[in-house]
Chains A and B, each alone.
Chain A
Amino acid sequence: DGGITQSPKYLFRKEGQNVTLSCEQNLNHDAMYWYRQDPGQGLRLIYYSQIVNDFQKGDIAEGYSVSREKKESFPLTVTSAQKNPTAFYLCATKRTDSSGNTIYFGEGSWLTVV
């Protein structure tokens, strides 16, 4: 089935460690996004990539890094510089066609830093 796979679903890490969250898609979509969700807040954009080998910072990129070496993959690294990394992270892709833009989301990854 076509879709977006995020892994791991749950991740616990010690403060000061870098963590990489995986996002893989087989939808053949060019655009991919990473969002962060905190309780009581709307989703906020961390990084996005509109094409392979290119990515741009979103609204809250500090303390995060990404790569886009393949169309299918857009991993997110939460570095030790991220001051409050405990959150829910969502990966998304976008399909653009004659009817407009449709956003597809993965199941998300819960990161807890202790």
Chain B
Amino acid sequence: KNEVEQSPQNLTAQEGEFITINCSYSVGISALHWLQQHPGGGIVSLFMLSSGKKKHGRLIATINIQEKHSSLHITASHPRDSAVYICAVNSGGGADGLTFGKGTHLIIQP
């Protein structure tokens, strides 16, 4: 079973700072997902990556398949970015092959 580790577990930063959240996994994957969970619980899918880099607005996600590592970056962070960010990987095994990290709790202070 794939092990997914996220770091840091908690991150507090000032508005405008550049944010990096990391995700490492133990077994080769077909895809990696970055998810955002707001207070109240709803989850939104931010990115699905199988290689390289994707950008959406102020969010950038990268993945290094050889190193089994992905990063989520937030540029010019804003208090509305405060949320839990979850990494999930498709390993191909199991029902949907998704293994989830425990999440990174991000707080952006004004």
Contact = CB atoms under 8 A, between A and B. Distances in A.
A1 B42 CA distance: 16
Q: Looking at B30, B94, B101, which has the most chain A CB atoms within 10 Å of its CB?
A: B94
A30 B100 CA distance: 22
A108 to B, nearest CB: 4
A88 B37 CA distance: 12
Interface residues of B, number: 25
Contact of A106 (B35, B42, B96): B42
Q: Looking at B30, B33, B41, B100, which has the most chain A CB atoms within 10 Å of its CB?
A: B41
Contact of B101 (A42, A44, A45, A108): A42
Contacts of B31: 100-101
Contacts of A27: none
A106 B103 CA distance: 18
Nearest to B49: A100
| Top-10 shortest CB links A-B | A42-B100, A108-B41, A105-B43, A107-B42, A48-B95, A43-B100, A42-B102, A100-B31, A88-B41, A103-B45
Interface of B: 4, 30-31, 33, 35, 40-45, 48, 50, 86, 88, 90, 94-96, 98-103
Interface of A: 31, 33, 37, 40-45, 48, 56, 58-59, 88, 90, 94, 99-108, 110
